[in-house]
Amino acid sequence: MDIKKELWGKSPDGKDIFKYTIVNASGASVVLSSLGAGIVSVDVPDRDGKLADVVLGYPNAGDYFADGPCAGKCPGRFANRIAKGRFTLDGKEYTLPINNGPNHLHGGPEGFQNQVWDSRCDDKCVEFLYFSPAGEAGYPGNLKVVAHYEWDDDNTLALTLTAETDAPTVINLTNHAYFNLDGEGAGSILGHVMKLNASTWLPTDETLIPLGEPDPVAGTPMDFLEPKRIGQDILEDFTALKYGKGYDNCWMIDAYEKGQLQTAAELYSPASGRVLKIETTQPAIQVYTGNWLKGCPRGKSGVEYNDYDGVALECQHCPDSPNEPDYPSTVLRPGEVYNEAIVLAFSVK
């Protein structure tokens, strides 16, 4: 495997940002960045063998700092929302920055996605490391996080996220790449066909905080148990779709078992023939159809993105888990290792 490291830019405080390009035997490639341990691009063939970059992003490293979409990066310490920026752990209440309506989102404005991670590579992988000190964004415990990426000759990108702490804390990590299987800058993904391995989803209030127990998807626009165009029901008169201006919701992955890889989703473009199959050890997947992409930095191909030009398929734990004891736990304690995997397998049909 050929891996090339190059200096891509500098952070506002002068830290070097590195970009890593991994090319496999067929010429398909991925580009990764030490800013937010991010996926910058994935170039894979369509049904005719033509390569295209299927991940939304920007031409310059500086465009990724504090971008609204969190394009391609790994948010933390807690991906998704925590209600009113508060949670209680072992009897002590912690207060976090509010940056999404009344709630805390993606670790706050200084979250992991806006940090430059340490990085290294060998002949088969790229690793990013971030040390989050106790009290950063209000979270307890010194936390060491590693994002480990491998790209193989079958066009599969595997991300393993691990973390350790010296004091009880909460953690929820994911990758926030936006996919367009017709190619970045090719327009809407509403014609993409999606299948979710999820028979339940989490209804929310208008600020996208879950209300509690999952609901069945049957008979609702949230039903993707059989392959369906993303745009088929997106304009339905359905409360959740009105709150988010499209899909921005969390589904519970069927047959979840801690530590075991399970199919989460499959995305297919009838136009290009490209397929993305996602497996994960995580219990849930947040699907966000890029409902507010308009106005973000100009894309890599020079095109200005519009709403619904990409879909984020974020394998993770449930939003607001620290305040919902019935959800799979996001508590990490000293001596334990947080260890979750997300596998992105690209193919054609």
* Active-site residue list: 176, 314
Complete edge-to-edge strand list for the sheet that includes strand 51-53: 2-10, 16-23, 29-33, 38-45, 51-53
d(CA 158, CA 127): 12
DSSP bridge partners of 343: 158, 279
The answer to whether the beta carbons of residues 11 and 65 sit under 8 Å apart is yes
For tokens 């996080």, name the residue: 145
DSSP bridge partners of 44: 52
Length of the chain: 349
d(CA 251, CA 264): 9
241 sits in which H/E element: helix 239-244
Pairing mode, if any, of strands 29-33 and 178-179? unpaired
d(CA 133, CA 130): 10
d(CA 69, CA 114): 12
d(CA 234, CA 218): 16
104 sits in which H/E element: strand 104-105
